[in-house]
Structure 1
């Protein structure tokens, strides 16, 4: 019944106003949703040594699946396309790691000399007026800064340490990720069909359509994020190289990997580049490095994000920032890495279900994977 000006809201037999009953209904539903989310987070934390490698395998599969499909359409046997894609991916990652190790080993003597020189310059500047800092005070500041950095970095690396606290855990996680990736590339559709059949028959069409939409969004996100990471790495690495900074190539590679954590990763890696320029080159070079980092981030924020990431993820930037921050607080580096793809995928799936535009179909046990 419509309620106009001056009318009294209806109430039940106990005299509870209509607005209170609506608020109570929403409240217990929200509490149920939060309870389910808390249980899911708890289970992920308990089984993180399995969940994290599976999520890594899911991202790698989303990256390699278009390549496998393209090679299969050219007449390649599917097994050969999968092997070629995996070998190429492994070779690229291994080459980047070897490049970092080689550059660090080659530049370590120069880095040690410049580190000592930078320490002496800072101590001499602070010992002169108007600072008049004694050597004892300077040493205590250095010790305090190291302790603070170690304390703050514990939040970021805590998740990584939990995932691989020992070499055995790292190897086990790598093997799980490898085998999961292989099986997802071989029979990903069959695995998803099996998951869909766990739902009630009336909900299978919606779940199947939501899965297709989520997978499409995930594959687009991974490919677009690689483009963004490469642009960030080339831009910041080039500025560091032209400034003559030590370890310019490793800086670019670190920016490349860090950029897979949207927003925060690129900012943190850019700050590291500016600090290296300040310590080993001087304030002028640090200002130039800062300008280069800001220019790259402006390019990402006003060109790459709206044109590429915005179309692939379709999530508001504020949600991205909050999701990355929440993921970092909950699970450290893995949480920051998986936060945005998880938000984007879930958003696509929920939007598909809410739209109600899926095709009514039943998934039979003998249906062949697509």
Structure 2
């Protein structure tokens, strides 16, 4: 036989002691092959997401500014469209939209500060008293000693990274926050002014069926982000008003600061509302005793149940809503990767990615036909 003859290769493989890799792979049962392929794909996806998360952490001020800009742009897009319908130039409409946002933020911030600045110290004292009462209840009704509870608290503080305050690190953090806010405002103006023309430029560089897929998936993702931002703000405001009214009726002190905490917590689904409700119950326990605390807990649960079962299906579109398990996983992953900022942006990112992937998948499963021109 000559070199390269199949018989020679087969004989060489037999002499080497076993079949080749292709024959060994074909000999595996199909569940094993499927499991190997899916596991490899999952490893690649997780590694890519982990790498992106690490890059976002390294570029934290820029990542936070971009996330805030996209969120605010989707939130304010209807205002911009209304001004454009009034025949205002794009630059003037974008500038007025940004000024409107600044006016609302400054006005609400000044009002809340004037009404609650003197109460934040009292809020801290009430929380401390509530924790002390909770501690007494735990040690008196459960087989837990004071020393064991102190050890648990110390471990929680160490896990949270609490320690001595570093003034240099604090100044650096304040500078990064201020720089991110200014960058977000500048980017917000340019996205409101030129965002659509930028998107059209991206689409003009594509040809064939890919252009239609990118156009529809981008449109679906943008609509999802806009619906999520506006729906989340509306639901958070309704939660804050409902719980604030309940606190006023029950004569719980610091109702306005607690309503503000509830509003901010509404932007972190499930976990934020739970933490805000726990703070309200602790303050009620410290100020008015266990009866008022139980009534406050009942009011918080009632408002959250009405919000979750009635308001959210009406306010949020069906394609925006995610399963609670997915939300918990997304919030936890975002918190582990980027802290509080990651908790805020994890759910909208997950919702947008899901809509984009779903749109692309629907195109792949739809029979091919004539490709229409993408809408503007």
Contact 2:65 2:181 (8 Å CA) reproduced: yes
Aligned residue in 2 for 1:134: none
Query: Does the CA-based 8 Å contact 2:127-2:283 persist in structure 1?
Result: no
Matches within 5 A, 1:77-88: 77-88=89-100
* Cα RMSD, aligned residues only: 3.6
Measure the CA separation in 1 of the matches of 2:352 and 2:220.
Answer: 8
Residue 37 of structure 2 corresponds to residue 25 of structure 1:
yes
- The question of 1:63 aligning with 2:59 is answered no
| CA radius of gyration, larger in | 2
Report the Cα distance in structure 2 between the residues aligned to 1:347 and 1:169, rounded to whole angstroms: 31
How much has 1:85 moved relative to structure 2? 2.1
**1:328 aligned to 2:307?**
no
**TM value normalised by structure 1:** 0.78
Residue 52 of structure 1 corresponds to 64
The alpha-carbon deviation at position 171 of structure 1 amounts to 1.4
Cα deviation for residue 242 of structure 1 reads 2.1
- What is the number of residues matched between the two proteins? 338
The 3 A distance-change label for structure 1 pair 144 and 276 is: farther
TM-score (norm 2): 0.77
Deviates more, 1:317-326 or 1:20-29: 20-29
Match for residue 292 of structure 2 among 276, 279, 285: 285
Deviation digits for residues 205-259 of structure 1 (CA, Å, limit 9, x no counterpart):
3222211110011101111111100110001111112222222111111211110
Does the CA-based 8 Å contact 2:127-2:282 persist in structure 1? no
C-alpha displacement at 1:311, in angstroms? Answer: 2.0
Residues 64 and 341 in structure 2, CA contact (< 8 A), matched pair in contact too: yes
Deviation at 1:42, TM superposition (A): 2.1
Q: 2:225 matched to 1:214?
A: no
Do structure 1's residue 339 and structure 2's residue 349 form an aligned pair? no
Hey, what does 1:252 align to over in structure 2? Answer: 259
| Cα pair 1:220 1:312 within 8 Å, conserved | no
Superposed, 1:75-114 pairs within 5 Å as 75-107=87-119
Q: Which residue in the other structure is 1:34 paired with? A: 46
- The separation in 2 between residues aligned to 1:251 and 1:80, in whole angstroms, is 38
CA contact (8 A) 2:224 2:352 kept: yes
Match of 1:43 among 15, 37, 55: 55
Aligned-partner SS, 1:244: coil
State the shift of 1:333 in Å.
Answer: 0.9
Which residue number corresponds to residue 7 of structure 1? Answer: none
Do 1:324 and 1:335's aligned partners in 2 also have CA atoms closer than 8 Å?
yes
SS in 2 for 1:313: coil
Partner of 1:205: 212
Distance 1:295 1:185, change over 3 A: same
Q: Is the 8 A contact 1:164 1:170 kept in 2?
A: no
Unmatched 5+ residue regions in structure 1? 1-10, 132-136, 156-160, 364-368
Partner residue of 2:316 out of 309, 312, 319? 309
Report deviation, 1:273. 0.6
Is the CA contact (8 Å cut-off) linking 2:91 and 2:193 kept in structure 1?
A: yes
Q: Which residue of 2 aligns with 1:181?
A: 188
Aligned partners of 1:103 and 1:247 also within 8 Å: no
- 1:59, 1:222 within 8 Å by CA — same for their partners in 2? yes
Cα gap change, 1:303/1:50 in structure 2, threshold over 3 Å: closer, same or farther? same
State the Cα distance separating 1:265 from its structure 2 match: 0.9
